[in-house]
Amino acid sequence: MSNQREQADMFLKQMESFANEMKKAIGLPIIPEPKSGAQLWYDQREITLKFLISVEKIKKFFHEGLAQGKLLATRCKKCGRIFFPPQVDCPYCKTSDMEWIELPKEGELVTYTIITTRPYSFGHYPDYTVGVVKLKNGVQVTAWIRETDPKKLRVGMPVKLEIVKREPEGYLTYEFVPVEEE
Amino acid sequence: MTRNVAIVGTGHSKFGNRYDVNIAELAWEAIKQALEEAGVEQKDVEFVSFSNVGGWSSEGLASVVTLEYAGLTGAELYRVEAACASGSAAIKAAHDAIASGQADIAMAIGVEKMNESPTPTVIEFIGRAGNFFWEFQNFGLTFPGYYALYATRYLAEYGATEEDLCRVAVKNHYYASVNPKAQFQMPITVEKCMKSRYIAWPLKLFDCSPITDGAAAVVLASEEMAKKLTDSPVWIESIGVSSGTSNLSRRDDFLHLEAGTIAANRAYKKAGLSRDDIVRHVDVAEVHDCFTIAEILAYEDLGFAKRGEGYQLIRNEETYKGGKIPVNLSGGLKAKGHPLGATGISMAVDLTRQLQGRVEKERQADIKVGRALAHNIGGTGHYAYVTLYSLSKPRR
């Protein structure tokens, strides 16, 4: 069975080849919707959405954090608040006097879900588990949990942070792995 | 000094897969009804707040496209966005325009054409409705996934079961089956729901609202204007609004939606009501049941049940017609359908008709105190709107 992204691509390809035949036959990309038979115009324009997102101010998170095997957060030097995801401004003190700190790796699973029906751009992965983990210092982090069997997951279970390479894209990110319990 | 605002006209399209119409034609179905009910002409409408989330549909400015089609061009126009609560935000904006004396007649129009894109694309767009960079980019959360995080924690904490979640679906499918405007027209059973496949564990297919095309519209008027237009106005008694963090990792717990709780408290305070006995002061409610767990959270956030006891309301069938507090007699988002931009306005339309005693007999609530409640959440508690509608004119 092909993955969900391929299925979605295939669906549109079928509609497109149908529309192309209609263009040849009647000069119009109009096709009947499979269930209702209602006439649909097959869009003749297409765009790719790909964003260029600034990480200039939080570049340490990547170069001194993930690339060095660490998950970093920021802390306001004035009030001591820890920010994860990292912010370079403390809105409460209205200061930008922040320091980078490494987050602890140990935590417990607060909640989780196993995603089986996936977004288009995640359609090429097998089912994945997303969880929220409370780290030892109380900071909560959302990430994948490396376990997709609901019987082996439970609220409150201990987990450990790992910096991993996400494949097939091949970029550094972070995820949690269940810790063997005594 | 603010002025009273009344709903004087309502319109609602058939919800579902509407491949038979484009976005403006779909919106017109609701606009035409609302104008005719109110007995006003397009030229009388001074202000329009237009609710459309979009992304999945082709018209980037569906607002101006629709107003042109509907002969409303020239009205003061805003498009509002509050994710799945956009419709309630549009009502708030139109309400405020009248309450502040800037307009005497205004419309809130909501429309969504979600089926213009393939399902995985729609899932992608809604999945991005949280924090794109930190929670979607790497981890691919979906809308069912966000609410599943709440469901997992809720079930673990309070001992509610997946069957309890399905009981919400069964109720809402039943009422949808007697609402001709609803997307789903077939009742379901707990067994059928329990056998459906997982979408985002522990939420299954029948725990989830569908992808829907639909439109709804209301005409609002000032007190003076309402008196001229209708003998049976429905008043907007109060509106409470709040917001929540984009990152779910920054939520305190996964047992309630703080924004929904605050919005409810603000709405109750403005109306002089207490959350402790709110069920005695409301005849019927429409709550945001994009997923079954969301309806149970809403019971608790609104004060219909104590924390941790919401699931018992549905287990004991207290939210059916004739129960302690009837909820989602329209079929709710779950089974009437959830065209994001139209949803909040659809709630207003249905509750107006409930208060006026003119919905289908099988789903008509007993109207005793003359007050209805709409609870509309944007995203996963990212936005929250609680609106009270009343047959009695509010005292200012």
Task: Tell me the pLDDT tens digit for each residue of B154-199.
Answer: 999 999 999 999 999 999 999 999 999 999 999 999 999 999 999 9
pLDDT of residue A177 exceeding 80, the answer is yes
| Separation of CA B124 from chain center | 22
Q: Mean pLDDT for chain B?
A: 97
Verify whether the Cβ–Cβ distance A113 to B203 is below 8 Å: yes
Verify whether the Cβ–Cβ distance A125 to B140 is below 8 Å: yes
Residues of B in contact with A131 (CB under 8 A): 149
Task: Among B139, B200, B202, select the one facing A117 at the smallest CB separation.
Answer: B200
**B233/B223 Cα distance (integer angstroms):** 9
A25 to chain B, closest Cα gap in Å:
23
Verify whether the Cβ–Cβ distance B142 to A117 is below 8 Å: yes
Per-domain residue ranges for chain B?
Answer: 5-118+212-229
**B370/B354 Cα distance (integer angstroms):** 10
The rounded percent of chain A whose pLDDT value lies above 70 is 98
Q: How many CB pairs under 8 A join A and B?
A: 120
Is residue B5 within 8 A of residue B98, CB to CB? The reply is: yes
- Protein fold of B5-118+212-229: Peroxisomal Thiolase; Chain A, domain 1 (3.40.47)
Of the pLDDT bands very low, low, confident and very high (cuts 50, 70, 90), residue A2 is low
At A3 the pLDDT is 87
At B370 the pLDDT is 98
DSSP letters along B21-51, please? S-HHHHHHHHHHHHHHHHT--GGG--EEEEE
**B369/B390 Cα distance (integer angstroms):** 9
Verify whether the Cβ–Cβ distance A144 to B249 is below 8 Å: no
Beta bridge partners of A159: A107, A178
Residues of B in contact with A11 (CB under 8 A): 118
CB burial class (10 A; 0-12, 13-18, 19+) of residue A54?
Answer: exposed
At A4 the pLDDT is 87
Residues of B in contact with A5 (CB under 8 A): 120
Q: Give the tens place of pLDDT for each residue, A96-141.
A: 999 999 999 999 999 999 999 999 999 999 999 999 999 999 999 9
Strand order in the sheet with B5-12: B76-80, B47-51, B105-113, B213-222, B5-12, B234-243, B383-390, B371-378, B284-286
Is residue B282 within 8 A of residue B369, CB to CB? The reply is: yes
Domain(s) labelled CATH 2.40.50.840 in chain A stretch across: 105-182
Least reliable range by pLDDT among A5-19, B21-35, B104-118: A5-19
Strand order in the sheet with A98-102: A82-83, A72-76, A98-102
CB B228: neighbour CB atoms within 10 A?
11
The rounded percent of chain B whose pLDDT value lies above 90 is 98
Quickly list H helices, B216-360.
Answer: 223-229, 258-271, 292-301, 310-315, 332-336, 340-355
Interface probe for B, chosen from A1, A15, A115 (most Cβ of B below 10 Å), is A115
Side chain identity at A106, as an amino acid letter?
E
Residues of B in contact with A120 (CB under 8 A): 118, 120-121, 123-124
Residues of A in contact with B291 (CB under 8 A): none
Verify whether the Cβ–Cβ distance B139 to A120 is below 8 Å: no
Interface probe for B, chosen from A47, A87, A127, A130 (most Cβ of B below 10 Å), is A130
**B292/B43 Cα distance (integer angstroms):** 42
Q: Active-site residues of B: which are they? A: 84, 338
The rounded percent of chain A whose pLDDT value lies above 90 is 92
Task: Give the residue-averaged pLDDT of B14-36.
Answer: 98
Task: Among A7, A111, A118, select the one facing B149 at the smallest CB separation.
Answer: A111
Verify whether the Cβ–Cβ distance B133 to A53 is below 8 Å: yes
* Residue of chain A whose alpha carbon sits nearest to that of B155: A155
pLDDT of residue A1 exceeding 60, the answer is no
pLDDT of residue B283 exceeding 80, the answer is yes
pLDDT of residue B137 exceeding 60, the answer is yes
**A32/A35 Cα distance (integer angstroms):** 8
Q: What residues have CB less than 8 Å from A26, skipping those under 6 apart? A: none
Q: Does A111 touch chain B (CB under 8 A)?
A: yes
Sign of CA dihedral B346, B10, B15, B25: negative
Q: Does A115 touch chain B (CB under 8 A)?
A: yes
Is-cis flag, bond preceding B202, omega within 30? Answer: yes
Task: Give the residue-averaged pLDDT of B315-319.
Answer: 98
At A180 the pLDDT is 81
- Retrieve residue B242's tokens: 């709040």
At A182 the pLDDT is 60
**B320/B377 Cα distance (integer angstroms):** 21
Verify whether the Cβ–Cβ distance B138 to A173 is below 8 Å: yes
Cα-only R_g, chain B: 19
Q: Does A163 touch chain B (CB under 8 A)?
A: no
Please state which architecture CATH assigns to domain A105-182: Beta Barrel (2.40)
- Backbone dihedral region for residue B265 (phi beyond 0: left; psi -120 to 50: alpha; all else: beta): alpha
Which position has the token pair 């018992």?
B312
* Residue of chain A whose alpha carbon sits nearest to that of B121: A120
pLDDT of residue A152 exceeding 70, the answer is yes
Verify whether the Cβ–Cβ distance A120 to B120 is below 8 Å: yes
- Retrieve residue A50's tokens: 């790909």
At B395 the pLDDT is 80
At B1 the pLDDT is 64
| Maximal CA-CA distance, chain A | 72
Q: Show the beta-strand stretches assigned E in A15-155.
A: 30-32, 39-41, 72-76, 82-83, 98-102, 106-115, 128-135, 140-145
